[in-house]
Structure 1
Amino acid sequence: MIQNRTPFLNKISASLNRTEINAQPPVKEWQHRPVEKKLSHLTSDELMPAFIEQCGVLKNTTIVEVEAAQAMKEIDAAVQKFGGQSVALWDDERLTALGIEQLTTSKWIDEGMAVHIWDSALGRTENFERTNASNIGIAYAEYALAESGTVVLYSAEGQGKAVGLLPNVFIAIVKKSTLLPRMTQAASKIKEDFANTQLLPAAVDFISGPSNSADIEMDLVVGVHGPIFAHYIVLSDQ
């Protein structure tokens, strides 16, 4: 919950010589709204080709579409493909519903993998250390953006953002029905999601493939600030 907001805003208003705080955002009557129109006429099925194409543009980014019943098989295949060793993932009921426990409590353990499920009771430091030591991170995306090959994550209890940032490989699970045209629609969805609550996510992350940087001599380097590889698993029937 936001604390001390009113005194803070009153102080800013006084500095600007304003006598009252406008609690409502100003109405913007734009003559043209091109950002709301691009790709917006397409269904999620029709957006998939654009999403796949953009993921192909992003370096070291792969995408596969499967039915939910095959999700665990695909997640396991992806983990094996990227070397296994150690996995960090969210404590997320959506992953549980897909059957992730058959991997985290049985198969991966039997194969000698180190598995860390984000545990708020451990505290921030230990969760970060265990996640940082993991080769692969797995999270569940709220939305995906066709235009940019982006997945949107909400950080919350049990869902630390580090899972998508620290391991060498990031695997995101995406419902096909949550595929949106672009950032404009994502912003609207986020506003809708939290319109009736003050309990906001700790962070909203927009991840477009692996970490890329060209700060030095304009040479593109992958993995400087985050994962080297990104893999999106789209659930076609959800």
Structure 2
Amino acid sequence: MTIQNRDEFLNQIAKSLGRPVKTKVERPVWKHAPQLEVLKNASQDELVEVLKQQCQNIHTTFVQTDTANLPNVLQQVVTDFGGESVITWNDERFEKFGVKKLMEIWPETGIKVYEWNPDTPKENIRQAEQANIGITISEMTLAESATAMLCSHPKRGRAMNFLPQNMIVLIPKSTIVPRMTQAAQKIHQQIEKGQQLPSCILFMSGPSNSADIESVLIVGVHGPVNATYIVIEDQ
């Protein structure tokens, strides 16, 4: 999309205000930055513990494992959710984590598996609506709020974050940061480098919750009813 007559429009406004057009905004230097102090010196293990505690507050099951045992842990979580049907991103990291083979044998055990296909958008939505379990991977995880950062991609549809009944999020331990501050910094750095951002960045804190009606908490109103975070020792 092309912006038409932008300079003429801005010049007319500036003329009316009696000042020149400002083409560059200088970033202010703040005297205090308390947002940078939260969990500033926390080790990665300490951040994991903060994440674990916060998961209790957002009705999310927390599991921690290493890459070698991840297939067994993932199998148990899928079984606990009742199996039936699974939808996953089309993501090469599943093979890196050693769970790709597990996903390939699930159909032999009666679990239907569908992998997101960028060439069949309508079928993707239909499969996501019918799936019992969705499996995704967090790009960055905020310990303070137990929030997973899920980035859309042609092979990683955003509908997967909302439509399945149950959600499993794989969280590499190295992605855990203190809070939203670090996520915002990363996104800003990507913009400054001219990198293309995802069309959607979702910050997911466990299953959907709402207490809008009479302050009564209801879980699973507009998204997954249950969520499990699996933290993977990848360092």
Q: Same fold, TM exceeding 0.5?
A: yes
User: 1:189 and 2:202 equivalent?
Assistant: no
- Which residue pairs with 1:43 in the alignment? 43
- Which residue pairs with 1:113 in the alignment? 111
Q: Where do 1:94-133 residues align within 5 Å?
A: 94-106=93-105, 108-123=106-121, 125-133=122-130
Q: Is residue 141–residue 148 contact of structure 2 (8 Å, CA) maintained in 1? A: yes
Q: Describe the shift of the 1:45–1:97 C-alpha distance in structure 2 as closer, same or farther (beyond 3 A).
A: same
Q: CA deviation at 1:8?
A: 8.3
- Which residue pairs with 2:80 in the alignment? 81
Q: CA deviation at 1:72?
A: 1.6
Worse-superposed segment, 126-135 or 10-19:
10-19
TM-score relative to the length of structure 2: 0.90
Q: Is residue 89–residue 136 contact of structure 2 (8 Å, CA) maintained in 1? A: yes
TM-score relative to the length of structure 1: 0.89
Q: CA deviation at 1:193?
A: 3.8
* CA radius of gyration, larger in: 2
- Which residue pairs with 2:69 in the alignment? 70
- Which residue pairs with 1:141 in the alignment? 138
Q: CA RMSD in A?
A: 2.0
Aligned AA for 1:51?
L
1:185, 1:118 → 2: CA distance?
Answer: 29
Task: Find the partner of 1:228 among 225, 229, 233.
Answer: 225
Q: Percent identity, please.
A: 38
Q: Describe the shift of the 1:38–1:157 C-alpha distance in structure 2 as closer, same or farther (beyond 3 A).
A: same
Count the aligned residue pairs.
231
Task: Find the partner of 1:180 among 172, 177, 181.
Answer: 177
Q: Is residue 10–residue 21 contact of structure 1 (8 Å, CA) maintained in 2? A: no
Q: Describe the shift of the 1:43–1:13 C-alpha distance in structure 2 as closer, same or farther (beyond 3 A).
A: farther
Q: Is residue 190–residue 196 contact of structure 2 (8 Å, CA) maintained in 1? A: no
- Which residue pairs with 1:200 in the alignment? 197
User: 1:55 and 2:55 equivalent?
Assistant: yes
Q: CA deviation at 1:159?
A: 0.5
1:138, 1:118 → 2: CA distance?
Answer: 11
Q: Is residue 90–residue 117 contact of structure 1 (8 Å, CA) maintained in 2? A: yes
1:138, 1:204 → 2: CA distance?
Answer: 16
1:47, 1:183 → 2: CA distance?
Answer: 13
